[in-house]
Amino acid sequence: MNKPKFLCDRMLGKLATWLRISGYDTVYVGDLKLNNRRKEDTFILNSFKDRILLTRDRELYNRCISSRRDAIFIKSDSVEGQIREMIELGFDFQIVMDRCSVCNSPLRKPSENETMRVLRRERIEEDLRERYELWYCEKCDKLYWMGGHWRNMVGFLDRIYS
């Protein structure tokens, strides 16, 4: 089954990050550098139509529905509440190393050169690569691994699901 793809409005940056962490292909409007609000709404209505729009803006939501653009109105201000709403609608949140949380690009295994370059630049101990499986975002030149940050995120989701 294909995972649904999303377009998040400017209010939903944190939710966009969590969707990417959970493997959903997610475009965040705030990343697109559109310069004004009016243009942004028009853009949202007319672009990425294969994606479900997630929005906190009731008016924009209504415009989407009347122009038959697939959209979900998100009620909560907090990312926990937003994730709960998505879970109630049947979407699943689970940390998978599929997508970069920063830029949405697919992750892959790093080469030895890429690993060493990033570890040295970030002043991370080189034995990290023996202790953890690593993933790499080519666009951000960034490594991911299931370390302390990952455990905190797992804990956050566990609390939401419990």
List of residues contacting Zn ion (CB under 5 A) = 100, 102-103, 105, 137, 139-140
CB-based contact 43:27 (threshold 8 Å): no
Q: How far apart are CA 152 and CA 95, in angstroms?
A: 11
Q: Which is nearer to Zn ion, 49 or 139 (CB)?
A: 139
**Closest approach of Zn ion to the CB of residue 104, in Å:** 7
**Closest approach of Zn ion to the CB of residue 28, in Å:** 12
Taking Cα atoms as reference points, which of 25, 24, 26, 29 lies closest to residue 91?
A: 24
Q: Which is nearer to Zn ion, 77 or 133 (CB)?
A: 133
**Closest approach of Zn ion to the CB of residue 68, in Å:** 32
Q: Which is nearer to Zn ion, 106 or 155 (CB)?
A: 106
In our burial notation (b when 16+ CB lie closer than 10 A, e otherwise), range 135-145 reads: bbbeeeebbbb
CB-based contact 4:48 (threshold 8 Å): no
**Closest approach of Zn ion to the CB of residue 70, in Å:** 26
Torsion angle, alpha carbons of 5, 11, 17, 22, to 10: -50
Q: Which is nearer to Zn ion, 79 or 102 (CB)?
A: 102
